[in-house]
Structure 1
């Protein structure tokens, strides 16, 4: 089976890295087209063996990109087109039709309660999405919560399939030596109480609240993994709180190519933490929370559909909290009090982390591919 994946961009982000991970586990041939920004994830995908084409789209209204994309579809002899993220879904579904491919699966990665991909929802956004959605075969939601939001938006429930995001669960297993080495590289004392956060440094993640909370917990440190437009603003928040020396900005974390520079990757960075906190109030899945659970960390989260959609006993190490600074401070104080720097053990890997192993997601997606290719195309 030949599949063309179309995505809006390939800078570092959850949807982008999820595509790379799926490509490693899907038994299909094909290529990736990125409409914009062939960033670090594009380099990683090519290093894994899948070619990437940059379409060079200049903006949402660059209609000249449509015939270029349709030509790539037509010339590739693809059985199916799989689109990812809003702009790629809108353009990709239409380009697939123009290119002669009527089987199109679209994954909705980032539909929140009031935003899509960090932008406010609007009537125009919804109308365009629904018009293009009807050109596809089915729409994949990355969580049951996203499936409900799609149905509320107007997507026919029978056209919605849930394929959760996934992780390579075993890759995150806690290694004590990695904890010591990573803390040494980062200049963090072995006995420090380290709070962790992972994600794009964007307003919606509310990392400013996490910085203020950590600043109020004596001797606690914050390891923040990610990059984005609020990096300097968050540095200023740390300075204003008097916690500049206790906040470590690691930057974006993406697996390097095989011949790339060595350095701490996400499993090692999680190993250096004592507790993981997600302060975002509007998530579509909560992949970083699942990764932290797979690393055996206790987790505090404000919103995480990946956990909220499961029975309570699926993730006993995860606790939902309010997002205010006082509530964060209280929760961190309790964990800090129970922290034993001489025995930085880990919790057992919960059922939630095993449930979301990427192999299960790839198998489910492959079933949808086979069903779509084996079915008669729509009008």
Structure 2
């Protein structure tokens, strides 16, 4: 069986979905699937690349910039056509939102294949960029055409599926497959770090937050909560357009000595941060936070979590309130501070919730579980004669 994945970006481009997509491709390749990935080079670099990683052929189209989050890549449709011709996939696995996935609609060769569309998130119409809302009227017909043509649609949680207006007409062919993570790489002395980036400010509870520094992540709310919580010090990992504003807010709140902005870190440093932390927080304020891969990373690391009860988001599925974490109302700094203080004061509670979170990761959110379920869907999309042909061509 050969599967061509079409994504937006690929590691080392930062992002939970990018990392998940790469891990899923590797897990499928380990199960004997021939896997290729077509995505865009990071706009910071922009140059086309081709390499093999974990038995996955990765093709990155040149990307010149992003316009309203859409990669600008004139070469993408030509590369898609070439890969279909040369790689000869049995099906396409399209990761959206991604405007470049729409090129499959215009490709006769692509339309002859079954499609699995992995719906990572809706286009956020409540985003603080009027241009995105205006452009959606142009985007939506292509989005709906893609969903109409899809053989199967996959979303990460029933909560998100049922709240998605874009998926409303296609729920009968939408499957729920939670995202998954494999075991953390073994690291000797993971709790000991010599990295200047991994530095815990203050002497209180070691609070960790990870994510792109965008407005919808709610890190400004977390800083306001931290100002009410002298019992904790925050390590904030990530970069983004709100970096300067968040640093200014920390100065305004006079908590610079209890916040460390680590910026982007590599995988080893990130693993050290999870190993050393005592509590994880995801304070997102909007449904743009569709699932929260970082929550699974925290659960895997045996960390209790505090997150927000975002209506229609998968966060409320990942975090079982009162079991492996606490959910508070989005944007409520006082409630967030109260939750942090509760964990700071109770080491036994942190241990109990952390153990429950790790058990929940093992039961619901492993990469093996996700890959096996995806493989079942692939097989269901291919008729028996295609199975035999795919087996004959398998590497």
- Shorter-chain TM range is 0.7 to 0.9
Q: Provide the aligned length of Structure 1 versus Structure 2.
A: 363
Q: Map residues 3-152 of structure 1 onto 2, 5 A cutoff.
A: 3-10=3-10, 11-26=13-28, 27=31, 28-37=33-42, 46-58=52-64, 65-88=76-99, 90-94=101-105, 97-99=108-110, 101-111=112-122, 114=125, 120=133, 122-150=136-164
Residue 316 in 1 paired to residue 328 in 2? Answer: no
Query: Distance in 2 between the 1:164 and 1:143 partners?
Result: 6
2:207–2:234 Cα contact (<8 Å) kept: yes
1:96–1:104 Cα contact (<8 Å) kept: no
1:212–1:325 Cα contact (<8 Å) kept: yes
Q: Map residues 213-224 of structure 1 onto 2, 5 A cutoff.
A: 213-218=225-230, 220-224=232-236
The corresponding residue for 2:171 is 157
Query: Distance in 2 between the 1:157 and 1:98 partners?
Result: 27
1:193, CA displacement in angstroms?
Answer: 1.3
The alpha-carbon distance between structure 1 residues 117 and 288, as it changes in their structure 2 partners (threshold 3 A), is farther
Query: Distance in 1 between the 2:127 and 2:152 partners?
Result: 19
1:325, CA displacement in angstroms?
Answer: 1.5
Q: Which moved more, 1:3-12 or 1:80-89?
A: 80-89
| DSSP 3-state at the match of 2:150 | coil
1:25–1:362 Cα contact (<8 Å) kept: yes
Tell me the TM-score normalized by structure 2. 0.79
The corresponding residue for 1:363 is 372
Query: Distance in 2 between the 1:151 and 1:298 partners?
Result: 32
1:152, CA displacement in angstroms?
Answer: 5.9
Residue among 198, 210, 214 paired with 2:210: 198
The alpha-carbon distance between structure 1 residues 231 and 146, as it changes in their structure 2 partners (threshold 3 A), is same
| DSSP 3-state at the match of 1:156 | helix
2:323–2:353 Cα contact (<8 Å) kept: no
| DSSP 3-state at the match of 2:184 | helix
| DSSP 3-state at the match of 1:155 | helix
Query: Distance in 1 between the 2:58 and 2:128 partners?
Result: 22
Query: Distance in 2 between the 1:226 and 1:210 partners?
Result: 14
1:110–1:116 Cα contact (<8 Å) kept: no
Query: Distance in 2 between the 1:160 and 1:4 partners?
Result: 20
Tell me the TM-score normalized by structure 1. 0.82
Write the deviation string for residues 76-125 of structure 1: whole angstroms up to 9, x where unpaired. 21111111122256425325544464211111112277558995594443
2:231–2:341 Cα contact (<8 Å) kept: no
The alpha-carbon distance between structure 1 residues 325 and 162, as it changes in their structure 2 partners (threshold 3 A), is same
